[in-house]
Amino acid sequence: MDIPAELGDFLRSRRSRLQPEDVGLVSYGRRRVPGLRREELAQLAGVSVAYYTRLEQGQSQNASDAVLDSIARALRLTPDEHTHLRNLARPAGAARRPAPRPEHARRGTRQLVAALDVPALVLDARFDVLAWNRLGHALLAGHLAADSPYRPADRPNTQRMLFLDPHTRELYPDWEGEARRAVSSLRLTAGERPDDRQLAELVGELTMNSPEFGPLWARHPVRKCAFGTKSFHHPLVGRLELDFEMARLPETGGQALMMFSARPGSPSEAALGLLAASAVPASAASGTARTGTAAHERH
């Protein structure tokens, strides 16, 4: 990923959404482009125009916390956007990552996921599915093989599925909202992992093959979507409104456990019960899961 270009694009996108009157400035003259000018933002942030220009052009990678905090305040960044700004402004501080190799969910994590009676899955930092239980599989990808997370060559990726899989597109009645949420999470992750080649390849693949992804990516949305509510229109049980939570798993390099639940007594809870009754037995994938990760567990 071209970090200097990403930083400049991000700062320009955030300048463009603020007008002088939004921040207490008087607007003079006709503006060729919307938003704050560089000199106006520099004034608000308390830095020189020349310094801010170098930063926006990716020519200064040693900005202090104080300067970045001032720019974040001037741009009225959210906490997630502020974090993203720091990641882009100081990419040298990102940890160098070893050569990529297939990831696996820990045995204990897989056992936990299998034991849960709500839809659950394990994602790596690139949004690859490393494991799911039978309800997670039935909810999100019943059209895929239950053991696909345990075969790296066929491993599902939730971003790829959302933008390129027609079955997944039909699963979300508000597909556009789900797509915005997904790109916001992917943007934040890309800023955290600027040297992740596989993540960059995923972004390139989606840009080339999805007409909707490119324009969304260009807007630089940034938001950590670790909890909330998702709506589904499931082909077997119909409408579902499910709350979700994502929890980072310690010492895994960014893996997360994602779980869905329905409000007690709601129609969605009844629909989940119907889905559980129709889901494939857990044993359909457990044998492959044990075989596919046995060598990994020995190390």
* Backbone CA torsion sign across 248, 252, 254, 255: negative
pLDDT score for 30: 65
Looking at the fold, whether 79 and 111 belong to one and the same domain comes out as no
Q: What is the pLDDT of residue 4?
A: 74
Question: Is residue 59 domain-shared with residue 24, that is, in the same domain?
Answer: yes
| 135 & 194 share domain | yes
CB-CB neighbours of 188 under 10 Å: 20
In a 3-state reduction of DSSP, which class is residue 230? strand
* 82/48 same-domain check: yes
DSSP assignment of 153-180: GG--BHHHHHHH-HHHHHH-TTHHHHHH
Do residue 89 and residue 111 come from a single domain? no
Per run of 10 residues, the mean pLDDT along the chain (length 299 residues) is 80 87 70 81 90 85 86 92 89 51 86 95 96 96 93 93 97 96 94 89 95 94 92 96 95 93 96 89 49 48
> Has residue 181 been placed in a domain?
yes
CATH number at residue 237: 3.30.450.180
* pLDDT value, residue 281: 62
100 belongs to a structural domain: no
Do 11 and 147 sit in the same domain of this protein? no
Number of folded domains in the chain? 2
Q: Both 156 and 252 in a single domain?
A: yes
Residues 84 and 112 in one domain: no
CA–CA separation, 286 and 299 (whole Å): 20
Asked, for residue 99, whether it belongs to a domain, the answer is no
pLDDT in tens, 152-191: 888 999 999 999 999 999 999 999 999 999 999 999 999 9
Distances (CA, A) of 226 to 144, 161, 177, 182: 25, 19, 15, 11
Q: Is residue 265 part of a domain?
A: yes
CA atoms 154, 121, 237, 225: torsion sign:
negative
Helix ranges restricted to H, the chain: 3-16, 38-45, 49-56, 65-75, 79-89, 107-115, 134-141, 158-164, 166-171, 175-192, 197-209, 213-218, 267-278, 283-297
- Residue 147 in any domain: the answer is yes
Among residues 64, 93, 122, the one where a domain terminates is: 93
Write down the pLDDT at residue 272: 95
Distance set, CA 251 to CA 79, 106, 113, 240 (Å): 24, 10, 17, 33
Q: Is the same domain home to 271 and 124?
A: yes
Domain span at residue 20?
3-93
What CATH number should be reported for the domain holding residue 65? 1.10.260.40
Q: Are the beta carbons of 91 and 194 closer than 8 angstroms?
A: yes
Assigned domain for 101 exists: no
CA 211 remoteness from chain centre: 19
- pTM, rounded to two decimals: 0.82
